[in-house]
Amino acid sequence: MLFSISHFAITALVSLNLAGALVRFVDLVYFSAQTITTVGYGHVYPKEHLASLIASIESLFGLMLFAIITGVVFGRFSRPKNSLLYSKNILLAPYKDMTALMFRVANTKQYELIENEANVVMTMKNPVTNKREFFNLTLELEKINFLALSWTVVHPIDEKSPLNGLSIADLQERDAEVIILIKGITDTFSQTVFSRGSYKASQFLDKRKFVPVKQDVNQRGRVIISLEDIHVFESA
C-alpha cells in the first residue's frame, strides 16, 4: 500500500514537472515570436540584462530577416522571364542571289520587347589543327526596335562568311554549332532580359525556306500569330 502511494506521488510529481516544463517552453516560444516580429510583449517580457540583450539581438535579427525575405521574394517574382521561342531548325535558305543561314524567334508573352539586339557566334573544329574556333556571324539586321510577334534572323553567306563553301556534311563533320544571345527591354518592367539558344549541326537543314507566319486579328483587334508557325518550312 505504501509502495503504491509513493509510486503515485512520484508519477504525479514527474507529470507536474513535465507540464511545467511544457508551459515554460510554450512561454519561451511566444516570447521569441513577439521579439523577432517586434510586436511587443504580453505577460512575458525580459527583466534581467542578459534577457534584454538576447531580446535586442533577436529583434535586430528579426528586422534583418524579414527585410531579406521581402527582397528575395520581390526580386524572384518581379523579375521578367525569358519569353522567346526559337525555331526547331536553322536553315540554309535562298537569300537574294546567294544563300543565307536563318532561324526564327517569336515572343511568347503579351508584353512587347523593345531595343532588341542579336549576337550570333558559330563554333566548329578546324580539320587541320583539330581545335575549336569561334566566328562572329554578321547579320542582315543585328538590332530591331520592336518585337511583338516574330523575327527572322539572317546571316548572308558571302565570301567573308565562315560558312562559305561548306556543306551540311562538312558542318556535321566539324561539329559545328551556332550560339545565339538576344537581349531586349520589356516595356512592362523596363528591364533588360536575355535569351540564349543554340543549334547543333544535326539541326541544320539545307535547301529549305521558312513559310511566312500567318497573322490574324482577335476580338480585341490585336494581331496574333500561332507560335507553331515559326517552325514550319518548305523545300526551296
> In this structure, are 205 and 228 located in the same domain?
yes
> In this structure, are 180 and 209 located in the same domain?
yes
> Whose CA is closest to 209, among 106, 87, 92, 105?
92
* Strand extents, DSSP E, 8-166: 84-86, 90-95, 98-107, 113-125, 132-136, 143-147, 150-157
> In this structure, are 25 and 113 located in the same domain?
no
The pLDDT assigned to 54 comes to 75
pLDDT in tens, 7-32: 434 444 445 466 667 767 777 776 67
Q: d(Cα 51, Cα 39) in Å, to the nearest integer? A: 17
> In this structure, are 193 and 228 located in the same domain?
yes
The mean of the pLDDT values for the chain is 81
Average pLDDT over residues 168-177: 92
State pTM to two decimals.
Answer: 0.66
Q: Look at residue 47 and tell me whether its pLDDT is greater than 80.
A: no
Domain that holds residue 30: 2-78
Length in residues, the chain = 236
The pLDDT assigned to 63 comes to 75
Which among 78, 108, 134 is the end of a domain?
78
Q: d(Cα 182, Cα 84) in Å, to the nearest integer? A: 9
Which among 55, 78, 101 is the end of a domain?
78
pLDDT in tens, 94-105: 998 899 999 999
Q: Name the DSSP letter for residue 212.
A: P
Cell numbers at residue 108, please? 511568347
Which parts of 37-181 fold into alpha helices (H)?
49-78, 168-173
* DSSP of 167-179: -HHHHHHTT-EEE
Q: Look at residue 133 and tell me whether its pLDDT is greater than 80.
A: yes
Average pLDDT over residues 71-97: 81
Q: How many domains does the chain have?
A: 2
Which among 78, 107, 140 is the end of a domain?
78
> In this structure, are 69 and 98 located in the same domain?
no
> In this structure, are 53 and 100 located in the same domain?
no
User: Which CATH number belongs to the domain containing residue 193 in this structure?
Assistant: 2.60.40.1400
For CA atoms 131, 160, 210, 186, the dihedral sign is: positive
Q: d(Cα 85, Cα 200) in Å, to the nearest integer? A: 17
User: Which CATH number belongs to the domain containing residue 56 in this structure?
Assistant: 1.10.287
> In this structure, are 74 and 122 located in the same domain?
no
> In this structure, are 99 and 135 located in the same domain?
yes
- Higher pLDDT pick, 177 / 185: 177
> In this structure, are 61 and 92 located in the same domain?
no
- How far is the CA of 44 from the CAs of 19, 25, 30, 34, in angstroms? 18, 12, 8, 9
> In this structure, are 131 and 46 located in the same domain?
no
> In this structure, are 66 and 120 located in the same domain?
no
Instruction: Confirm if 35 and 59 have CB atoms less than 8 A apart.
Output: yes
> In this structure, are 145 and 204 located in the same domain?
yes
